[in-house]
Structure 1
C-alpha cells in the first residue's frame, strides 16, 4: 500500500516535470524564431554594408583618379599662367615703351608745328613790311627804281654803279662821280615801260615751304589717344585675368 502511493507520487512528479519541460521548450522555440528573424535581418544588413563598402571603395578610387587628374591639370594651368603672366609683363613693357615713343613724337610734332606756324607768321609779317618803293623790272631779273628814289646798291646794274677803286676827280672834288654814271632810267626812256611794284628782296626764298606729305599734329594726337585707350583696355583685361 505504501509502495503504490510512492510510485504514483513519482509518476506525478515526472508528469509535472514533463509539463514544465514542454512549456519551457515552447518558450525556447519562440525565442529561436525571433533569433532566426534577427539573423536574417542581420544578414541583410551585412550584405548592405558589404555593398556600401564596395561602392565606397569605388568612390575612393574615382576620387583618387580625380585628385590625380586635378593635380596634373592644375600644374599645367599654373605653368600656362606663369608663361602668360611673363608674356603679359613683356607686352605691358612694350606698350609703355611705345606709348612713351608716341608721346615724344607727338611733342616733337607739336613743337615743329609751332615753329612752322611762327616761321609762316614771321614770313608773312616780313612780306607786309617790305619797302613799297622797290619796283620790279619787266624781265624780272633786274630791279628798276621809281622816279626820284635810289635803287638798292646790290641791285644796280654795273653801268650805273660808281667806281669804288679808282674814283675820278671831277671839277676838283675827290670822289665825285659824274652825273652820267648816276643816270637813272626814266619812265619814258623805254617804250611801253611801266614801273611795277616789287616785294622785298628774296621774297621767293622767304615764302614758307609747303609740307610734303607729312602727318599732321591732329593725326599724331589721335593716334596717341587711341594707343593710350588700347593700353588702358589691355591693362584692365590683364588685371581681370590675374584676379
Structure 2
C-alpha cells in the first residue's frame, strides 16, 4: 500500500507540474502582449510629446503675430484719429469759407429795383461787400 500511496503522490505532483507549466506558458503569452503594448504606448507618448512641442512653438508664433498686429493696429488707429481731427478742422474752415463766399455773392448781386430811395440800395450793397471783404481778411489772414 505504501507503494500505491507513493505513486499517487508522484502522479499528483506530475499533474501539478503540468498545470504549472501550462499556467507559466499562459503568463508568458500575456507578458509578451504586455511588452508589445508597452512599446506601443512609449511610441504614442513620444509622438504626443513631439506634437505638444510643435503646438507650443506655434502658440509662441501666434502670440508674436498678435503682438505685432496689435502694435500696427494701434498705430493705424492713432493715425486715423489724427486724420479725423484734421478733417474736422478743414470742414469747419470750409464752412467759414462758404459762408463768406455766400455773403460776397449776395453783396455782388445787382440790386433789385425798389420803389423807395434808389440811391440807398447801392450804398447798402457797397457796405455789405466791404463787410464781407473785411471778414475775409480777418480770418487767419486768408483771402478766399
TM range (shorter): 0.7 to 0.9
User: How far apart are 1:51 and its partner, in Å?
Assistant: 0.7
Secondary structure at 1:125 match in 2: coil
Q: Does 1:125 align with 2:116?
A: no
Which structure has the bigger radius of gyration? 1
Correspondence for 1:22 among 14, 19, 40: 14
Q: Does 1:63 align with 2:32?
A: no
- Unaligned 5+ segments in structure 1 are 1-8, 131-243
Stretches of 4+ aligned residues off by more than 6 angstroms:
none
Return the alpha-carbon distance in structure 2 between the equivalents of residues 42 and 89 of structure 1: 68
Partner of 2:135 in structure 1? Answer: none
Return the alpha-carbon distance in structure 1 between the equivalents of residues 36 and 82 of structure 2: 67
User: How far apart are 1:43 and its partner, in Å?
Assistant: 1.0
Return the alpha-carbon distance in structure 2 between the equivalents of residues 40 and 76 of structure 1: 54
Note the 1:110-149 alignment, pairs <5 A. 110-117=102-109, 120-121=110-111, 125=113
User: How far apart are 1:26 and its partner, in Å?
Assistant: 2.2
Correspondence for 1:42 among 8, 17, 34: 34
Partner of 1:73 in structure 2? Answer: 65
User: How far apart are 1:42 and its partner, in Å?
Assistant: 0.7
RMSD: 2.6
CA deviation vs aligned residue, 1:98-120 (integer Å, no higher than 9, x gap):
11122222222222222223xx1
- Unaligned 5+ segments in structure 2 are 119-144
CA deviation vs aligned residue, 1:153-189 (integer Å, no higher than 9, x gap):
xxxxxxxxxxxxxxxxxxxxxxxxxxxxxxxxxxxxx
Q: Does 1:96 align with 2:88?
A: yes
Return the alpha-carbon distance in structure 1 between the equivalents of residues 63 and 13 of structure 2: 72
Return the alpha-carbon distance in structure 1 between the equivalents of residues 27 and 99 of structure 2: 101
CA deviation vs aligned residue, 1:71-114 (integer Å, no higher than 9, x gap):
21111111111111111111111111111122222222222222
Partner of 1:146 in structure 2? Answer: none
User: How far apart are 1:49 and its partner, in Å?
Assistant: 1.0
Partner of 2:46 in structure 1? Answer: 54
Question: For this pair of structures, how many residues does the alignment match?
Answer: 121
Larger RCO: 1 or 2 (CA < 8 Å, sep 6+): 1
Which TM-score applies when normalising by structure 1?
0.45
Secondary structure at 1:99 match in 2: helix
Note the 1:205-216 alignment, pairs <5 A. none
User: How far apart are 1:63 and its partner, in Å?
Assistant: 1.5
Note the 1:217-232 alignment, pairs <5 A. none
